[in-house]
Every structure is written in structure tokens, then in C-alpha cells.
Structure 1
Amino acid sequence: MTRNPRSRGSPAPSPAPSPPPSPAPASHPADEPAFMTWFRRWAGDPPLVGIALALSLFGIAMIYSAGVLNVPSPVVERAWQRQFMWLGVALVGFTIVSRIPGRWIEWGSLPVYLVGLVALAAALAVGTGAGPAESVGRWISLGPIRFQPSEVAKLAAILGLARYLSSREEGPSSLRELVLPSLVVGVPLGLVVLQPDLGTALAFVGVLFAVLYWAGTPPLHLLLLASPGFALILSFDTRVWSAYFIVLLVAVYLLRFRLYLVESAAVVLANLAAGTVALPVWNSLADYQKNRLLVFLDPGMDPRGAGWNLIQSKVAIGSGGLFGKGFTEGTQKRLDFLPEQHTDFIFSVVGEELGFVGATLVLVVFGLLLLRLVQLAERTADPFAGLVLFGIFGVWLVHIFINVGMTVGIVPITGIPLPFLSYGGTFLVTCWALTGLAVRMAREE
């Protein structure tokens, strides 16, 4: 880093004496309530932890509301109690993680990464499913405890990628230098896809691009890295994909002086391969996943079947109006028209009962959460810490965008939970572990 010019050469002349400043009002710890003093010391970063805690408590309240049905359901009715107990476990996890020395975390990144891969492989071998995904292996049971290895793998991917990139003197400056970082995230991503769990897989994509961006990767290279994904999506319409491929060829030709020949060929071949594997990928999807994609394009094709979730979610949010129907008073929820109201569609309950104003306030709070992560990443001088913070940013951004987007119909339904709000013990503990990791990284100099 560049030194301060004042540290070299002859010393600068002493400034003229100035009158002593008027004394500022004293601020002593005794003036602060004891609880606030304790919270500030325990939290480490009160703004971040305060937002996370507010979202968690609000989530428990909405889960309670989701269980208020005209036809009681014992499972949903008591979900808020279980979530409250999981919050206690999550806060203990936060306390532990936030106090682990930063160097220990960096040194342990590789073992944690390997543990994440082993857990994902175990889920494929002996894992079980739940709900509409009962036939797939996403959960591992250890006695009375069931957890999703993919949640552990998110943390592992963040640490592994941050460790690799922070060990370099400079960020990736060519497509060739993006191969290893892509593999670090691509291996756990591939194992998650094999479960199959496409929604969670997208969170790994968020980690990859967020961390690479913060590492200084040129935006052009990030766009080219993402291009095979665009090709895969557009390949379901031959004419659209053909037009896209022509545009890609023209772009690669115009960039021939900025890319190595091997890189240009790799981009073209990767996009061509993505377009040709679309049919095998489609055939590999479970039936419920195919239906979710089809009804995203046309919910009316099966309004009482695969399109039911999306239609009822949009009806619930739309019927909430400006200020909502009132806490616990949502009719779509009460009559049990709204599916998975305490998990994947918790935001639909917010929209129906608290209206546009309440839903907007929730999104604003999520925005403040993400903004705080960016601020912490900008303040830290430690490369590893900054990359970890932006990896957490990427995970939460993807979860928030996809979960809220699927409830209003702008993205396909993928079954991805909303951070801190959706019911789920493993996910809540993971969110708070990531919060603890963020607090720990923010302290690194």
C-alpha cells in the first residue's frame, strides 16, 4: 500500500496553536442502559445483528399467523414454537462463530470445504426428501435431528472460494484465471443439482459471481462466464437461441483483441454445448420441477394442479391491497388456499395481511441488511474478510430475489426459503452462522 507522503523527508512545520475546543458532552457507558451495553458487546456489529434479529422475530410472528387456520393443522399451528426454539440454537451458533479468531477461519477453510463436499455426497447416497420433493435426497437424519447438507455447503463454498482468491496477489484478469474459482463453486453446485435442488444451486451461482466481482474480475469476463447459462435458458426456443448464438459470435469476434484465441473458442463451445444439452437436462428434471417451469410460462394451463401455488400466491398478495387484511386475518391463508404458507410462501402471508406497505417495509429492511454487508466489506482491509462478506451478500441476495420473485410470478417456483423469515431450523441456523461469520470478518484489519 502507498505510504503517507508526510512520513518521508523533513517533518512538516508545526501548526499554529489553536484554542482548546469546547468540551463535548460526556458519553459514559453508565449513561447507556445496561441491556444496550451488553447487546453492543455481544453483537459485535449492532446494525447487522439488530436487523437480523428483527427479521427473525418478525418471521416467528408471521409463522404464528400462518398457523391460524379455519381448519387447524397441528403441524403448522405449532411451527412458530419450533422456530422460536431453533432461534435459540441459532443465536448460540452465532455467538460461537462470531468469536472464532479470523485466522482460524481462514486456515480452516479447506477442511470446512471438504466437509461440505462429503456431506453433499452423503445426501446423495443416504439422504431423504420431504414434501413434494420426498423422492429426492436432500436431508440427512442423525437421530431426531434432520439437516440439509446443502446449507453447510453454502458456507463451505464461500470460505473455499475466498481462501483461494485471497491467496492471489491480484484478482482474475482473464477467462483462463476463472477456471479454478469456477470449479471451487462448481463441484458443490453440481452435487446439489444432482439431488436435484435447482433453487439452492442458484445460491451457489450468487456466491461465485459476487465474490469474483469483489475480487476485481472485469465485468466483461463475468458476462462471458455467465453466457452458457443464458444459452441454456434460451435454448428452449430454437429461434431465440439461434439469434442469441449469432449475437455471441459477433461479440466474440469484436473482442478478439481482448481475448486469447483459446478463450474465444472456449466461450463459443461452452455456449454451443449448453444449447445442445437442454433436452437431456429437461429430461433429468423431476416431474414437479418440469411442472413448475411450465406453469411459470402459463399458470392457467393447470390451475388446479401445478399452477395452483402461483395463482393462489398472487391472489393472496393482490387481495392485501395497500394496508392488508390485518395480522392473522388473511382469508387465502385461513382457508388453506395458500400453499406452504409458513415456509416458501411466507412472503405471500406478509403481502395479504400487511398489504403493499408492509411488504415494501420488509423489502426495505432486507435492503438495509444487504447494504450493511457491503459497508462492512468496504471497511475491512483484509482481502479474505472482504471476499467472505461479499459471498454472504451473494447468498442472501439470490434467496431474497428468487423467493419474493416466485411469490409474485416473475421467476419460476423453486422452493427456496426467505432468509430469517421462512420456517426451517437448518436454514435459520445457517443464516445466523453466516451473520456470525460476517461480524467476525468485519473485525479483521
Structure 2
Amino acid sequence: MSWLRDSIRAFLERGDRLLLALCLLASGFGLVLIYSATRYMDAAAGMRCMVIQAAGILLGVLAYILLSSVDIELFTEKSWKWLLLFGVFINLLLLTPLGTGGEETGNNSWLHIPGCPVNLQPAELAKLTFVLLLAWQMKKLGERGSISRPTSVFSIAGHTLVMLGLIVATSGDFGMALTYAVIFVVVAWAGGVKKRWFLLAVVVCVVGLLLIWPYIKDRYFMRRFIVVFDHLTGNPDTLYDQTRDTGFQQTRSILAIGSGGLFGMGYLNGTQTQSTSEQSLPARHTDEIFAVCGEEFGLVGCVLLLCLLGAIILRCIWVSRRASSPQSALIAMGYAGMLTAQVAVNVGMCLYVFPVVGLTLPFISYGGTSIVTMFAAMGIVSSIKMRSLPSWLRDRSRL
């Protein structure tokens, strides 16, 4: 156990204790909301959710401390093949009988391991390795010349497209695929890829969407996008779909947030949060937990929650700007992009300005895999902070 003592000692001396404190505050707030959001269940089911989330936080803190002591650049350099194999293999497991999800989740995103008390979400775990590999790949390409060379851009874009295709093919989880895409954009932008490539990517995506639109417009997933557009434009012809069918979940969400007003209805007193009716807020402890916060804590509670998550994101950016190398800086920015994407999409779902794609609110929503992954990612950021440049060398490097 000497390695554990050494890791704890190193973390206490040089680790990012502020970032850990912010993560604990956010996850503590999440526990408070999860308790309220699961009271409508039977006592055993509600307690199980609380125990799993609390255990996930404890495991996450342990992962945070252990990863803080790892030289992440050296680890990636020596283990990049294993990291790549891990990301591919764990997603391919979804094609085996271990894969689960179906009608309950709308996709096949989970692994049911016999004997394991919780299901695992492979794409969540693979996000950690994807960021590490993308940053390492950009460092290697940058050493050979400009990162904006066509061969370099096609290489990192190809890596990303393979992962996106793998996630969509194995699980059908477009929300998680979107997170990977945002991570790529943030890392590529921070890494110095020229703007013309992003403009070209937008043009290709628009043209591609127009070409395949006749074939996908009637798919259920596309109806989620269309119903948001109809809601925002006030289309009266699809009112039933907006409120009772595809848009039911988001309609209940904005009603919950709106009814909370400035200060909310009070903890454990939310009308929809505490209701057992099937017409109440769905997925209230997972996708729609932001609506629970709005109903019971009001606008003030929502602002506080977003400030906590915003502080974590800003801390990642702060660490990135002080990193000892471009690779470490890109890793920290990649995790900042991951958090930003999930916060923006989840809150957008709850406010009916973005389609429901099944993304959790980081550190807040119920989910064992999600909470451990978030703490682990922040542990890697802490590792980068522990090895950041001293101020005198950092200032000189900018000359």
C-alpha cells in the first residue's frame, strides 16, 4: 500500500485541491437533488440510487487522487496502443449479449456485467482515452510540421470519425457521439488548426445533411430535432407532437423550471418532482435533473449550479494555460470541452432548445459510470497542474 500513501502524499503537496473541492461541491449538490428526484420511487429503489451515486463519488475521489500522481504524458507515450485498443474493445462489447439498453434508454449504451451491481457505459469510459490519444496524436503530427497540413487534419479527423462511427454503430448513442465531436473541435481549435478547415467541415456537414435529409427526416431521432424547431417557431400544426408525443419530456421540464420561479417551491416540495403520476417529469434523476433544481430551488438554485460547473470548466482552462507542454494543455482543454458540451446540451434539453439525446449533467445526474469518469478526468487535469511550468519560466516562454 506504499504506492497509495505516496500518491496521497504527492496529491496533498502539489495536487489541485481547489478543483477537487469544486467537484465535491457539485457532486454533493447532485446527491441532494437525486435524493429528492428518487423519493417518488419505492424506498428500496431510491436508496439503491443514493448508495450507487455515493459509492461512485468515493471511487471517483480515489481515482482523482491516484491519477494526480501519474505523469500522463509518459503514460500515454508508453501505452497509446493499449489505450486505443481499450476504447475500441469496450465499445465493441456492446454488440455481445452483454450490451443492454433497448426501449428504456432509447439506445444500446450499457454493459451488463454478471455479478456487477451496476451497468457500465463504455463510451463514457472511452472519453478519457479519446482525449489522451487525440492530444498525443496532435503532438506527434505537430513535430513533423504544421498541424494544419491536409495529411495532419485528415489524420485527426479520421481518428475522430472512427470513434463516432463506432459509438453510433454499437450503441446508437448520438448524444455521446456529439460530445466526442465537440471534444475534437475544441482540441483541434486549441491546437492551432486553421479556421478554414472548420469552415470546410461546416460546409461538408450542411451539404451532407441536405443530401441525406429525404432518407432520415422520418426517423425517430430526427423527429426530436424537428419538434424542437417547431416548438421554437411556434408551429401550430404539430402542437400535439410538441407537447404530448416527442416533446412530452421537454414540455414537462420547462413547466417544472417555470413553476419554480425565483426561489423555487422548496426542497422536497416540487409538484412534478414529488409526483408519482405518469404525466409528471420523466427521467428526473438523470437527463432532467436540472429541471428538478429549477422547480425546487428556482432560478437562484439553477444559477448556483451552473456557477459551480462553470468554475470547474474555468479551472480546467486555467490549468491548460499553465501546462508544461502543448500536449498537456490540449488534454486539459479537451476535458474542458467535454464538460462544456455536456452542460450545454443537458441544460438545452431541459429548456426545450435542444433535442433529447440522453446526456447526463456532469457531477449532478445519477450515474455511476458518469461520476467516476468525471472525477477521473479531473484527476488527470490535477496531474497536469502538478507538473505545470513555474511562473518565471511560463512568462519567459511567451517572449
- TM-score tier (shorter): 0.7 to 0.9
- 1:296 corresponds to which of 228, 241, 247: 228
**What CA distance in whole angstroms lies between the structure 2 residues aligned with 1:417 and 1:135?**
14
Hey, what does 1:25 align to over in structure 2? Answer: none
Q: What letter matches 1:84 in structure 2?
A: A
Mean alpha-carbon deviation: is it higher for 206-215 or for 96-105? Answer: 96-105
Mean alpha-carbon deviation: is it higher for 80-89 or for 293-302? Answer: 293-302
Asked if structure 2 preserves the Cα contact closer than 8 Å seen for 1:327 and 1:354, the reply is: yes
Q: What letter matches 2:240 in structure 1?
A: M
Hey, what does 1:137 align to over in structure 2? Answer: 108
Instruction: State the Cα distance separating 1:420 from its structure 2 match.
Output: 0.4
Cα 1:278–1:50, aligned 2, differ >3 Å: closer, same or farther?
Answer: same
**What CA distance in whole angstroms lies between the structure 2 residues aligned with 1:63 and 1:140?**
23
Asked if structure 2 preserves the Cα contact closer than 8 Å seen for 1:203 and 1:399, the reply is: yes
Instruction: State the Cα distance separating 1:39 from its structure 2 match.
Output: 11
Q: Does 1:362 align with 2:316?
A: no
Instruction: State the Cα distance separating 1:82 from its structure 2 match.
Output: 1.9
Asked if structure 1 preserves the Cα contact closer than 8 Å seen for 2:182 and 2:341, the reply is: yes
Q: Does 1:334 align with 2:307?
A: no
Instruction: State the Cα distance separating 1:57 from its structure 2 match.
Output: 0.9
Instruction: State the Cα distance separating 1:361 from its structure 2 match.
Output: 1.4
Instruction: State the Cα distance separating 1:307 from its structure 2 match.
Output: 2.1
Instruction: State the Cα distance separating 1:95 from its structure 2 match.
Output: 2.2
**What CA distance in whole angstroms lies between the structure 1 residues aligned with 2:265 and 2:13?**
38
Hey, what does 2:262 align to over in structure 1? Answer: 322
Q: Does 1:115 align with 2:64?
A: no
**What CA distance in whole angstroms lies between the structure 1 residues aligned with 2:250 and 2:129?**
33
Q: Does 1:156 align with 2:91?
A: no
Mind listing any 5+ residue stretches in structure 1 that lack a counterpart? 1-36, 232-270
Count, aligned residues: 364
Hey, what does 1:80 align to over in structure 2? Answer: 50
Asked if structure 1 preserves the Cα contact closer than 8 Å seen for 2:124 and 2:370, the reply is: yes
Provide, for residues 161-215 of structure 1, a one-character-per-residue CA deviation record: whole Å limited to 9, x for no partner. Answer: 1111112235522445311001111111111112200100011011101111111
- 1:99 corresponds to which of 66, 69, 72: 69
Instruction: State the Cα distance separating 1:426 from its structure 2 match.
Output: 0.7
Q: Secondary structure of the residue that 2:112 maps to in structure 1?
A: strand
Provide, for residues 58-103 of structure 1, a one-character-per-residue CA deviation record: whole Å limited to 9, x for no partner. Answer: 101110011233x746424541222111211222222222222231
Hey, what does 2:191 align to over in structure 1? Answer: 215
What is the percent sequence identity of the aligned residues? 29
**What CA distance in whole angstroms lies between the structure 2 residues aligned with 1:75 and 1:144?**
18
Q: Secondary structure of the residue that 2:332 maps to in structure 1?
A: helix
- 2:162 corresponds to which of 168, 187, 192: 187
Cα 1:118–1:94, aligned 2, differ >3 Å: closer, same or farther?
Answer: same
**What CA distance in whole angstroms lies between the structure 2 residues aligned with 1:401 and 1:338?**
20
Mean alpha-carbon deviation: is it higher for 83-92 or for 162-171? Answer: 162-171
Instruction: State the Cα distance separating 1:149 from its structure 2 match.
Output: 1.0
**What CA distance in whole angstroms lies between the structure 1 residues aligned with 2:78 and 2:375?**
21
**What CA distance in whole angstroms lies between the structure 2 residues aligned with 1:132 and 1:348?**
23
Q: Does 1:226 align with 2:202?
A: yes
Provide, for residues 294-343 of structure 1, a one-character-per-residue CA deviation record: whole Å limited to 9, x for no partner. Answer: 43234533333322211100000001000111111111111141111100
Q: Secondary structure of the residue that 1:332 maps to in structure 2?
A: coil
**What CA distance in whole angstroms lies between the structure 1 residues aligned with 2:66 and 2:42?**
38
**What CA distance in whole angstroms lies between the structure 1 residues aligned with 2:121 and 2:345?**
19
**What CA distance in whole angstroms lies between the structure 1 residues aligned with 2:106 and 2:256?**
29
Q: Secondary structure of the residue that 1:381 maps to in structure 2?
A: coil
Q: Secondary structure of the residue that 1:277 maps to in structure 2?
A: helix
Q: Does 1:381 align with 2:320?
A: no
Hey, what does 1:412 align to over in structure 2? Answer: 355
Q: What letter matches 1:184 in structure 2?
A: H
TM-score (norm 1): 0.76
**What CA distance in whole angstroms lies between the structure 2 residues aligned with 1:389 and 1:163?**
12
Cα 1:164–1:341, aligned 2, differ >3 Å: closer, same or farther?
Answer: same
RMSD: 2.3
**What CA distance in whole angstroms lies between the structure 2 residues aligned with 1:311 and 1:65?**
20
**What CA distance in whole angstroms lies between the structure 2 residues aligned with 1:369 and 1:124?**
35
Provide, for residues 141-176 of structure 1, a one-character-per-residue CA deviation record: whole Å limited to 9, x for no partner. Answer: 222332111112211211111111112235522445
Mind listing any 5+ residue stretches in structure 2 that lack a counterpart? 1-7, 232-238, 389-399
Cα 1:113–1:223, aligned 2, differ >3 Å: closer, same or farther?
Answer: same
Instruction: State the Cα distance separating 1:278 from its structure 2 match.
Output: 2.9
**What CA distance in whole angstroms lies between the structure 2 residues aligned with 1:313 and 1:141?**
30
**What CA distance in whole angstroms lies between the structure 1 residues aligned with 2:264 and 2:340?**
26
Hey, what does 2:397 align to over in structure 1? Answer: none
Task: State how 1:169-208 maps to structure 2 within 5 Å.
Answer: 169=143, 171-194=146-169, 195-208=171-184
Q: Secondary structure of the residue that 1:147 maps to in structure 2?
A: coil
**What CA distance in whole angstroms lies between the structure 1 residues aligned with 2:146 and 2:130?**
18
TM-score (norm 2): 0.85
